[in-house]
Structure 1
Amino acid sequence: MIVPSETATIGEFFFDAAHCYADRPLLVAPSNSARAYDPQGRSLSYAEAAHAVHGLMAQYREAGYGVGHRVALFLENRLEHMLHKLALNALGVCCVPVNPDYRPRELAYLIEHAHVDLAVVLSARVADWEAARHEATWQPPHVVFEQWAAGLPPALVPAKTYVPEAQTPASILYTSGTTGRPKGCVLSHRYELAAGEAYATRGGLATFRATGERLYNPLPLFHVNASILSFYAVLLTGSCQIQSDRFQPSRWWTEVRQSQATIVHYLGVIIQMLHAQAPHDQERDHCVRFGMGAGVEPHLHAAVEARFGFPLLELWGMTENVRILVDNMPPRQVGTRAFGHALPGIEVRVVDDADGDVPDGQPGEMVIRHSERTPRKDFFSGYLDDEAATEAAWRGGWFHTGDVVTRDDTGMLHFVERRKNIIRRSGENIAAAEVEAWLLSHPDVEQTAVIAVPDEVREEEVLACIVLKPHAAQALSAASQEALLRSIFDHCSAGLAYFKAPGWVWFADHIPTTGTQKIQKHSIFAPGIDPRGLTGMHDLRAWKKRTNAR
């Protein structure tokens, strides 16, 4: 393993790793005959990746891109996403990955908020990019990925003259915020290398062997998991990242076996879908040593490990700090939502609403820091252009995660729930406030409250409680309900990524509020009631489809 210095940049470290591990595979796309690109699969060695990165750097440099610029990558899960990211970072350019499920208004927000200088866009997504660009006041140029050889549009402003450093921004990743629009988490070169180092050195059942691992990751490259956590652990250890285009239950075991994966990354929804499949020989005929992920249902944890033949190591991490905590040392606490102990470099407290420590065994918010002397070391650099939100999250010198946990008498931490107003659906964080704000722009919606309800497959689903405007309420009848539901759902689908649209809708006469007119979400339904079974609840889950998937 090569350990990066605290002053290393991604470009410097990548080329050192490429020299050391030249002939080893770095990036692999598993074969998939139904896929339009690389149907036979593809493998790039460290040396081949370095050669490609040098070529991309030359082209970006010739067009004037360098330190201080931001480039959006709309490349889905292509291997080229990582090659472009490495080239951009080596030049000091900040990478802004694009969520391919964004609708034009969401993408327009990213374009304006990140103020990107250029976008690299798949030809199949050019119409999406153009629709978003025309909604934005800032309209940067783009280059079509398949027409790369024709050249890049020149940079609109000159690059800065200084060379990239460890604290230079490497990525801006957007994460749902409790107040509505996503926040841009600025991640430095040091953050990304430190995240990989933390994972690669956790040890125990998560040990990376000197001969290198083959890590299968079906998660999207616009998330911190695949593009940073796993990729830099791979890079530091001379291992290989097998990057699927996306998770497909029917292809999981085929791709895992054919790629000879030794590590797999998962979400809770992935495990549930795999467990729901009929047993077959492939699920035990593999090379997997361990799975790394979060959200496996406690009642399934032991059973799935026994069925598939490898441990599922539950972790905790977030975009603001993905130097993970993980339950990886035997004896593990399987099926308890345990995710590890505090470690040097990740100090933990469990606190109440006044930031006072709570006793072990009692739930409280988890707050973290690197150390008393350097609390923010190796954390995210801050929320883009939002110093107030950054400082609020760091109040008292501890980063407030928004996650409610308990700590037992051994120091083991157990996840309880999210304190923030966030819905977690199939690995996606959904800000209830963002969905509420968009629902209120529908002409028939007077008031709304969006909450999470359980979902047997996707962990949680979006439930919208809606008070209609008088004209709509008076006209509502059993015959017109479906038309109104379709109108509301289509409105959400037009302005929000498909996964954010309500899967359940409840029409209410009123929504309880406090004396200061703050909505009391906890009072909408009686305690202990599963609202999904109530008379008058509308199930729209079948309408939620990833319509723009390629």
Structure 2
Amino acid sequence: MSAVIDALAPRRMELGSTRVPDRPAHWVKHENVAPDWSAVPQQTVIEVVSKGCLEDPERPAIIIDGGPVMTRREFLDRCQKFAGYLSGILAPGDRVVVMLDNRLEFMIALFAIIANRCTLVSIAPTAMAYDAGHIVSDAMPTAAIVGEAQAPIIEAVRDRAPGLRNIITVEGEEPNGLAAYEDAAEPLDFTTVGCQREDIITVYYTSGTTGAPKGCMLHHGWWLRVIDLDLRMFRRGWQDRQLCCLPFYYADPAIQLLTSLASRGTLVAMRRFSVSRFWEVVTTYDATEILSIASIPALLTKGEKSPAERDHRIRLAIHAGLPKDLHHELLERYGFHWHNQYGSTEGGVMSRVPHHLADELVATGTMGVEPPGVTVRIVDDNDVDVPVGVAGEALIGGPDLYAGYLNRPEVTAEANRGGWYHSGDVVRRDERGLLYFVGRKKEIIRRSGENISAAEVEGVLCAHPAILEAAVLPVPDDLRGEEVKAYVQLRAGESPETLPPEAILAHCKANLAAFKVPRFIEYRLTDFERTPSMRVQKQSLLKEKPDLRTGAWDSETGTVGE
């Protein structure tokens, strides 16, 4: 146990405390934000769960679309019962991999693990032996909680973690998949557990653009800060119902559940995102707020229009990486604001569009400004601050950021050099202090000495009405160093005949500087492999074939490469 406590010591550091530049008085800031820790004064996540459930026990905690409705009383009861069982097989500091679909038992397992001062290690339920095996061998869990479909995968890789003694399979109808364990021991009273704010409670493996995924460690303080900031910037109450359309193995659904418990609201969860059912779910369960990521807004606008799109109680949508070309359409079609947000597993919420500027900033592409307590510096390759308007890497400072990367002290030290978290994101700031995303530092393509943002080219491609999704990568070129290749996925009803590569090229030429226009275009006939955050998994594209120019249309020759 002493080794666990010793390992926690560095996590008390506030990144960015060594040097915080003055913020000009004329820069935009969030208004009417409640004081620090006024929304979540608790010291642990378990306190938030216990208090939220005990204060309003008969109100629904979670509603599963097409599934059960669970009150706060039942949710706390089941969490405490399963935690009691786990207390007999786990010791503080143990790690437990969880590989489950979107079902209530995921959230029950999450808080039961945390209450035992242990750590949930999240694995996508669609993972196979290769990617699940990497996480198991890196995290070295002592237990696993899996669905029936995932059990064979974990069994196949369990020898990679010699300490993996217990594999718990969630079986049967929801929410009774853990019923066999719930009465096996005395419940663990959440009001008396000895959790500490510095305990590492979750590990999420970040997909990154290069190298194997790294386990990002998050402690109670990280979660509490995100929940407190969110509730202080956007107040909620018992009448609010947040819609979750994301997979539970990602952090956002748990954040939504905790903010709901802390504000007496309810979480409405879909099994999986569906364009055809989205607005039916919104209206059926009376949702008031949406959290979305990646291509969700674009996919929604491609769907058929229906009266339900305007017959709802939605007050707000928060989206990470909102396409500015869709912003007006989203507002006009659905009747509520979509607020752009910038965040990461490491840094939590790093900027958001202020509510009082929502109308003014529609379709500007801005990510807003930092929430109270967070600082974003923009620097060059030598970590020197750049002038306003100049793009550079975003460095993040603030309290309770991530606790580092599991088993990667050297990578953690490099990411936090100088006392600031180096995000790897290239951003710029305008004269009002508003932030704009330019691209990933490692996704900047160098063509004939010019820097090209893959994200910018992708944004232009996705603005074409026939294109559903796009991914842009560099390919080697003897003359120019690197060339630009675009993978294009067309929407239903379109084909390379209806949208030939020449038309895609013309669209890009009309919207981009000549040096940014893709030379190579390849059609994607099936969906892209995706990261846990639903972004295109570019690592898999890089590995598909030895020469990425093979099979792609070359604009210089007008032919498909062999």
Residue 238 of structure 2 is matched in structure 1 by: 211
Matched residues, number: 441
Q: Aligned runs of 1:435-446 on 2, under 5 Å?
A: none
Q: Which runs of 5+ in 1 are unaligned?
A: 32-40, 155-161, 371-376, 424-450, 468-488, 512-524, 539-550
Matched, 1:312 2:348: no
Q: Aligned runs of 1:516-527 on 2, under 5 Å?
A: none
Residue 541 of structure 1 is matched in structure 2 by: none
Residue 98 of structure 2 is matched in structure 1 by: 73
How many Å apart are 1:201 and its aligned residue?
Answer: 1.0
Matched, 1:536 2:546: no
Q: Which amino acid aligns with 1:5?
A: P
C-alpha distance 125-169 of structure 1, shift in aligned 2 (>3 A): same
> Does structure 2 retain, via aligned residues, the 8 Å contact 1:462–1:502?
no
How many Å apart are 1:267 and its aligned residue?
Answer: 2.1
Residue 358 of structure 1 is matched in structure 2 by: 386
TM-score, normalized by length of structure 2?
0.71
Residue 204 of structure 2 is matched in structure 1 by: 173
Say which SS state the counterpart of residue 344 (structure 1) adopts. coil
**Which of 77, 98, 107 matches 1:82?**
107
How many Å apart are 1:231 and its aligned residue?
Answer: 2.5
> Does structure 1 retain, via aligned residues, the 8 Å contact 2:136–2:160?
no
CA distance in 2, matches of 1:368, 1:244: 33
Residue 24 of structure 2 is matched in structure 1 by: none
Matched, 1:26 2:54: no
Say which SS state the counterpart of residue 355 (structure 2) adopts. coil
Q: Aligned runs of 1:97-496 on 2, under 5 Å?
A: 97-133=122-158, 139-146=164-171, 148-151=178-181, 163-202=194-233, 207-228=234-255, 230-332=256-358, 333-370=361-398, 377-421=399-443, 454=458, 456=462, 459-461=469-471
How many Å apart are 1:24 and its aligned residue?
Answer: 1.8
How many Å apart are 1:297 and its aligned residue?
Answer: 1.7
Q: Deviations over 1:252-279 (max 9, x none)?
A: 1111111110001112411111111222
> Does structure 1 retain, via aligned residues, the 8 Å contact 2:299–2:468?
no
How many Å apart are 1:220 and its aligned residue?
Answer: 1.3
> Does structure 2 retain, via aligned residues, the 8 Å contact 1:403–1:418?
yes
Q: Which amino acid aligns with 2:39?
A: V
Residue 75 of structure 2 is matched in structure 1 by: 49
> Does structure 1 retain, via aligned residues, the 8 Å contact 2:105–2:178?
no
Q: Which amino acid aligns with 2:166?
A: P
Say which SS state the counterpart of residue 413 (structure 2) adopts. helix
CA distance in 2, matches of 1:115, 1:296: 37
CA distance in 1, matches of 2:109, 2:336: 34
C-alpha distance 11-257 of structure 1, shift in aligned 2 (>3 A): same
CA distance in 1, matches of 2:557, 2:220: 49
C-alpha distance 121-464 of structure 1, shift in aligned 2 (>3 A): farther
Q: Deviations over 1:96-147 (max 9, x none)?
A: 1211222201101111111111111111222222233356666543111117
CA distance in 1, matches of 2:555, 2:425: 24
> Does structure 1 retain, via aligned residues, the 8 Å contact 2:415–2:421?
yes
Say which SS state the counterpart of residue 165 (structure 1) adopts. coil
C-alpha distance 465-186 of structure 1, shift in aligned 2 (>3 A): same
CA distance in 1, matches of 2:554, 2:81: 56
Say which SS state the counterpart of residue 339 (structure 1) adopts. strand
C-alpha distance 458-183 of structure 1, shift in aligned 2 (>3 A): farther
CA distance in 2, matches of 1:259, 1:72: 31
CA distance in 2, matches of 1:143, 1:537: 50
How many Å apart are 1:464 and its aligned residue?
Answer: 8.6
How many Å apart are 1:535 and its aligned residue?
Answer: 2.9
> Does structure 1 retain, via aligned residues, the 8 Å contact 2:289–2:315?
yes
> Does structure 1 retain, via aligned residues, the 8 Å contact 2:202–2:219?
yes
Q: Aligned runs of 1:492-503 on 2, under 5 Å?
A: 501-502=540-541
Residue 39 of structure 2 is matched in structure 1 by: 3
C-alpha distance 530-351 of structure 1, shift in aligned 2 (>3 A): farther
How many Å apart are 1:227 and its aligned residue?
Answer: 2.2
CA distance in 2, matches of 1:104, 1:392: 30
Residue 544 of structure 1 is matched in structure 2 by: none
- Over aligned residue pairs, what C-alpha RMSD do you find? 3.4
TM-score, normalized by length of structure 1?
0.73
CA distance in 2, matches of 1:534, 1:92: 61
Q: Which amino acid aligns with 1:119?
A: A
> Does structure 2 retain, via aligned residues, the 8 Å contact 1:531–1:537?
no
C-alpha distance 298-462 of structure 1, shift in aligned 2 (>3 A): closer
Q: Which runs of 5+ in 2 are unaligned?
A: 1-36, 172-176, 185-192, 446-453, 478-524
Q: Which amino acid aligns with 1:103?
A: M
Q: Deviations over 1:413-434 (max 9, x none)?
A: 11111113499xxxxxxxxxxx
Question: Of the two structures, which has the highest relative contact order with CA contacts closer than 8 Å and spacing of 6 or more?
Answer: 2
Q: Which amino acid aligns with 2:142?
A: D
Say which SS state the counterpart of residue 319 (structure 2) adopts. strand
CA distance in 1, matches of 2:93, 2:198: 13
Q: Deviations over 1:375-399 (max 9, x none)?
A: xx21011100111111111111211
How many Å apart are 1:324 and its aligned residue?
Answer: 4.2
How many Å apart are 1:347 and its aligned residue?
Answer: 1.0
- Aligned identity (percent) is 28
